[in-house]
Amino acid sequence: MTVRTPVKPIKPVGPKRTKSKMGCRTCRIRRVKCDERKPTCERCISTGRVCDGYGIWGGGGNAYGSNDRLINELVRKAPFAISSSAKGLKTRAPAVIPGLSSEEYAAFDFFRRKTSRKLPGVFDSDFWDFLVLQLSIREPAVLHSAIALAATHRHAIALGNGRRPSLAATSAAMDFNEILALQQFNKAVGHLQRSEMKDSLRTMLVCCIIFISIELLKGEIKSSQAHFQSGLKLLREMSPERSDAALMVRSQPNSIDEQLAEAFTRLNIRSSILGDGLYQAYAAKPGSHCGPELQIPLIFDSLNAARRHLDRLSQEIDRLSAKGKQLTLDSDAIPADLVIQQQRLQRSMESWRRTLLSSLPRIQASQPEGSNQITLGAPLLNLYYNMVSILCQTCLRNGDECAFDLHTMSFATILEDAVDLWSKVARFLPSQPSSGGQSDHLSFTVDMGFIPPLYYTALKCRVPKFRRLAIGLLVSAPHREGVWDGAMAAAVVGAVMEMEEGTFYTDAGIKLPQSTPLSSTGIMPSVPENDVPLVPRAQRVNYANVTLPECGAGAGGKVSLECRRYNCGGGAEKGEWTSTNVELDPTLFNFEHGTQDLGNCAW
């Protein structure tokens, strides 16, 4: 009988491999496991990051030098499907896209690293952070639109550093980035013209938002309006059954369609304070009834969630304000349904404030120390809360501008918060260009900033000290927020202030300073300033409608301002509206020495 002895399995022969615990610098900073591939780790490349290498062991770089196998692998892994589901959005597109020239590669990398992070401002944006980057892998139209935006961004940075071409420059002397932006824009349009079906509507809408951003960055206001109206039609085509409801910001967007609507309609929210809205996304329908009260959760899991709810409240208040504009001092009682809607919105605003205060400790604990979301985002939300609260409480004022006098302390709070926020923002702004002689900083965002609340305060608060402080802050603002420009906003409200005050204070023997020092001390009055009277109701402007120049206020264009005032009738007579139209050149506005000559602006 043969006894078989068990044979031990033969171990594979080969060098013993000891895994290093070093990892690339990028993965170590992120505190994730590194695959330690050389010269660049695949974990960094596959997520679109730049691998910073292995210290003295070399390596590092971006994905541009990778081989074809890696390119194909990245493209294979890319989330190509564009459905209405929002799942899978939280994956950044890789930096490598086959078929691009070196110039296009460089511009797209700039978009990925700089532009997509700059445009959203303080708050995260799924649209810029994920959706555009992912679609760039699949949709050539989106890819070339993004490259065009990056080239426009780089050109704007160059202009901001003093390299401004003369007005007589011809196309032959155009900046390289201008040429690249134009070429990429034409490529994007060409791809869009060959698109069909509903998914292509989504692609077209993404490109439309990018085109709007390009025009705003260039200061081409009229062109941005045209793109907005085109996008509005696309939104309605995507959701014809939902009508204007499709254009409302959702408290929690659950689909790509809703995220597109959110990104799109936010452009209108911030512009509506200019008058009837630079971008009129919707209008109040005659006879429409108030909807159910907006439900505010007990906890916000992030500042983005808080911001979405506040945006939704802002839209509802804008719609109610549109109905309230039809009311005058001569009107009969305010319709009961409007009063009910106003009360519901006021309760929702109070609920929003309570939820934010109770959520802040948890949100702060979840963010890294020094996070912009906490340092800048929370004060910015508070700034908008106070402005929107005033809007809500005065939207049914029957044309009575004295209603704003009851909110002087709220205006003072806005100014205190703005001064505090301005001091924090100043720390993030470079004081001088980099050592290379050119800074890559451009203070521009398509999202919320502090210009609209300051503009609204200067427009509606008639306390001379507060009004001048708000204008002074606008003058000092070194940035643009979408259609907003600090100098333009200051020129407009400065003109309104001159129209309202006229010779009122000089006739009363009261000398007012042209400006107020930009200090947070002494803003909030300890006692009401009864020694300085406010301009009477008869001299106040009810509505100031602004039409921005086609080429932007900073490019020599003039701002058209229409000021409307309601003159109350006597006895049984109805009152009437009067209006004054003036043109303003913001470049001539000098706050220290008064505003510009307004010409014949008598009522």
Hey, where are the domains in the chain? 20-61, 283-399, 416-426+445-603
Those residues of the chain that have pLDDT short of 70 are 1-22, 38-39, 45-50, 54-96, 160-174, 195-199, 239-255, 268-292, 329-332, 370, 427-443, 478-479, 513-530, 550-556, 569-573, 590-603
Q: Which residue type, as a one-letter code, is found at position 550?
A: E
DSSP, collapsed to helix, strand or coil, labels residue 564 as strand
Pairing of strands 444-445, 480-481: parallel
Q: What pLDDT sits at residue 225?
A: 80
CA–CA gap between residue 74 and residue 447 (Å, rounded): 32
Residue for token pair 């940035």: 479
Q: Which residue type, as a one-letter code, is found at position 166?
A: S
CA–CA gap between residue 273 and residue 395 (Å, rounded): 12
- Structure tokens given for 316: 């509802």
Q: What pLDDT sits at residue 172?
A: 36
CA–CA gap between residue 565 and residue 567 (Å, rounded): 6
- Structure tokens given for 576: 């009437």
Cα first-last separation, the chain: 123
DSSP, collapsed to helix, strand or coil, labels residue 589 as coil
Residue for token pair 């006597």: 570
CB 483 within 8 A of CB 224: yes
**Number of alpha carbons in the 13 Å side-chain half-sphere of residue 193:** 6
CA–CA gap between residue 74 and residue 399 (Å, rounded): 60
CA–CA gap between residue 122 and residue 450 (Å, rounded): 11
CA–CA gap between residue 452 and residue 384 (Å, rounded): 9
DSSP, collapsed to helix, strand or coil, labels residue 508 as coil
CB 598 within 8 A of CB 585: no
CA-wise closest residue to 49 among 119, 122, 137, 112: 112
Report the 10 Å Cβ neighbour count for 167.
7
Q: Which residue type, as a one-letter code, is found at position 155?
A: H
CA-wise closest residue to 248 among 270, 268, 233, 275: 268
Give the distance from CA 260 to its chain's centroid: 14
DSSP, collapsed to helix, strand or coil, labels residue 565 as strand
CA–CA gap between residue 200 and residue 219 (Å, rounded): 28
DSSP, collapsed to helix, strand or coil, labels residue 581 as strand
Inter-axis angle of helices 176-193 and 197-218, nearest 10: 160
CA–CA gap between residue 143 and residue 210 (Å, rounded): 10
Give the distance from CA 535 to its chain's centroid: 34
Q: Where are the alpha helices (DSSP H) in 441-527?
A: 451-460, 464-476, 486-501, 504-507
- Structure tokens given for 248: 């409302």
- The CATH number assigned to the domain with range 20-61 reads 4.10.240
DSSP code at position 272: G
Q: Which residue type, as a one-letter code, is found at position 517?
A: P
Q: Please give the helix or strand (H or E) that residue 233 lies within, else none.
A: helix 221-238
CA–CA gap between residue 458 and residue 466 (Å, rounded): 7
CA–CA gap between residue 344 and residue 267 (Å, rounded): 25
Give 61's strand partners. 51
CA-wise closest residue to 30 among 50, 58, 60, 56: 50
Q: What percent of the chain has pLDDT over 90?
A: 27
- Residue 485 backbone phi and psi in degrees, to 5: -135, 130
CB 202 within 8 A of CB 235: no
Q: For the CA atoms of 418, 420, 422, 428, what is the dihedral angle to 10 degrees?
A: -140
CA–CA gap between residue 246 and residue 236 (Å, rounded): 7
Name, in order, each residue with C-beta under 8 angstroms of 421's C-beta and a sequence gap of 6 or more: 376, 379, 380, 383, 450
CA–CA gap between residue 191 and residue 140 (Å, rounded): 7
CA-wise closest residue to 26 among 43, 1, 10, 46: 43
Pairing of strands 559-567, 576-584: antiparallel
Q: What pLDDT sits at residue 338?
A: 92
CB 264 within 8 A of CB 249: no
